[in-house]
């Protein structure tokens, strides 16, 4: 029974890789794991320019490490390529009462 409950909890977790601009204008790549599919406690006071969800923790970590190893130019291309998807996610979460609590 304990294993079943633990698997259920892991199944609900969502993993987010995001890029934001800090107060100095530098790009920062971060990883957030949430057990309730919301982005509370995320760096919402920073300017998020890229946001991508993952269901599998390994995929999220691998994606973050990939972004860490890419050149700034390539990361900016990635940000530009996923701009619309990021806008949609941010819009969804800005309407959620759970964000920023």
DSSP string, 19-55: EEE-TTS-EEEEEEEESSS--TTS-TTSEEEEEEEES
Q: What pLDDT, on the 0 to 100 scale, is given for residue 36? A: 56
Chain centroid to CA 85: 12
Of 88 and 9, the structure prediction assigns the larger pLDDT to 88
Residue 16's DSSP bridge partners are 32, 53
pLDDT tops 60 at residue 33: yes
Q: What pLDDT, on the 0 to 100 scale, is given for residue 41? A: 55
What is the CATH T-level fold of the domain 2-94, as seen in this structure?
GIY-YIG endonuclease (3.40.1440)
Q: What is the mean pLDDT of the chain?
A: 78
Q: What pLDDT, on the 0 to 100 scale, is given for residue 49? A: 93
Model confidence band, residue 8 (pLDDT cutoffs 50, 70, 90): very low
In this structure, are residues 20 and 47 in contact, taking their beta carbons and an 8 Å threshold?
Answer: yes
Q: What pLDDT, on the 0 to 100 scale, is given for residue 44? A: 54
- Helix H or strand E encompassing 18: strand 14-21
């Amino acid at each position: 029974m304990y294993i079943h409950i633990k698997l259920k909890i892991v199944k609900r977790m969502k993993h987010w890789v995001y890029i934001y601009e800090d107060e100095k204008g530098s790009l920062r790549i971060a990883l957030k794991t949430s057990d309730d599919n919301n982005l509370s406690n995320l760096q919402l006071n920073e300017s998020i320019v890229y946001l991508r969800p993952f269901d599998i923790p390994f995929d999220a970590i691998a994606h973050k490490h990939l972004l860490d190893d890419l050149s700034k130019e390539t990361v900016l291309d990635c940000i530009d390529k996923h701009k619309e998807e990021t806008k949609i996610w941010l819009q969804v979460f800005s309407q959620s009462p759970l964000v920023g609590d």
